[in-house]
Amino acid sequence: MNARPDFVIAGAPKCGTTALFEYLRRQPRIFIPHLKEPKFFCSDLKTTGGVYTLDGYRALFAGAHANIVTGEASTFYLYSRVAIEKIMAHNPRTKVIAILRNPVEAAHSLHAARWSHRHENVRSFEQAWRIQSARLAGEQMPTGWPDPATLQYGPMYCYAGQIRRMFEHVPPGQRYIIVYEEFFADPVRHFAKLLQFLEVPADTHSDFTVVNPALGHRSAGLDRLLRQPPRWVRKLYGSMRPLFTAARMSPARLAWHLNTVPRRKPVLDAAFRAQMERYFAPDIAELESLLGRLLWR
């Protein structure tokens, strides 16, 4: 039997990968582990919360029947310099799915999501964009963030080199590239084509409700308190931490969850958007040449 998985959703972040993950795992002929982002193959990036041993990775698929299609989704695989090659060495028959979004919108969405989830310590996307070089030197990093390379909002969405690497290691019949804007404009048609690529029977009852929307906060004051609690709150919480741990409770996480609501991300300043478009323009032109089509005009 071939090594699993049969396919991976390789990225990019904030390009609809969570939606694809959810839509595919609802299919009766597909098995995807509950853990999104195992991150097993992107060993060149420092990450947390993934699966880092081969036995642990194989265990993700232990519940899948022999005649079922298996897959996983880890959005750093496309950005990683080694993941795609490692995936194909693990199972040369693996099919690789990439989904690409207008890089300005994707980078903006990634920053907004990280700020909402308290993984980003700079509220302004424009400011976070301007300190990318400083962060590579380890400066102005969010507390506990493991790798400056995964806080690079520009390079992460320079797709051409990533797709070139995918083309180098993945045979044509085993790679599938989706354009985010096209997929979600007509998800029924594009999802049927994806299932055909995966050699899975079409499902006429698929539900394409919004998954992983942009988030905001009910109370800005509570959000500030959770991000920068006063000293007396930190001291009180520290003294009670053993009780919360024993009860498997996290009051801060609960408060954050209750204070979170779907909301549109902030509008980009026109001049800053134009600057980003100039930054990404050469890469988009190269990507268009690779794919033989126009994108995001």
Query: Same structural domain for residues 171 and 240?
Result: no
pLDDT-based confidence at 8, cuts 50/70/90? very high
Q: CATH no. for residue 149?
A: 3.40.50.300
Whether residue 290 lies inside any domain: the answer is no
How many domains is the chain partitioned into structurally? 2
Whether residue 250 lies inside any domain: the answer is yes
Higher pLDDT, 231 or 101: 101
Whether residue 270 lies inside any domain: the answer is no
Averaged pLDDT, 149-156: 97
Q: Is residue 73 a contact partner of residue 120, using CB atoms and an 8 Å limit?
A: no
Pairing between β-strand 7-11 and β-strand 69-73 as defined by DSSP bridges: parallel
Whether residue 11 lies inside any domain: the answer is yes
Query: Same structural domain for residues 178 and 49?
Result: yes
Query: Same structural domain for residues 111 and 11?
Result: yes
How high is the pLDDT of residue 72?
98
pLDDT digits (tens, 9 = 90+) for 17-67: 999 999 999 999 999 999 999 999 999 999 999 999 999 999 999 999 989
Averaged pLDDT, 173-178: 98
Whether residue 241 lies inside any domain: the answer is yes
Whether residue 204 lies inside any domain: the answer is no
Residue 226 has pLDDT above 90, yes or no: no
How high is the pLDDT of residue 261?
57
Query: Same structural domain for residues 159 and 240?
Result: no
pLDDT digits (tens, 9 = 90+) for 237-294: 577 667 656 666 566 565 555 556 556 767 899 999 999 999 999 999 999 999 999 9
C-alpha neighbours within 13 Å on the C-beta side of residue 191: 23
- For residue 24, the surrounding DSSP H or E stretch is helix 17-25
Q: Using a pLDDT cut of 70, give the percent of the chain over it.
A: 80
Query: Same structural domain for residues 233 and 146?
Result: no
Higher pLDDT, 236 or 25: 25
Which structural domain range is residue 72 located in? 7-197
Q: How many helices (H) and strands (E) does the chain have?
A: 13, 7
Whether residue 67 lies inside any domain: the answer is yes
Query: Same structural domain for residues 136 and 252?
Result: no
Query: Same structural domain for residues 42 and 82?
Result: yes
Query: Same structural domain for residues 169 and 56?
Result: yes
Whether residue 174 lies inside any domain: the answer is yes
Query: Same structural domain for residues 189 and 126?
Result: yes
Query: Same structural domain for residues 252 and 143?
Result: no
Give the CA-trace dihedral at 267, 213, 24, 40, to 10 degrees.
80
pLDDT digits (tens, 9 = 90+) for 57-67: 999 999 999 89
Cβ atoms within 10 A of the Cβ of 107, count? 26
Pairing between β-strand 175-179 and β-strand 95-100 as defined by DSSP bridges: parallel
How high is the pLDDT of residue 135?
96
Averaged pLDDT, 128-137: 96
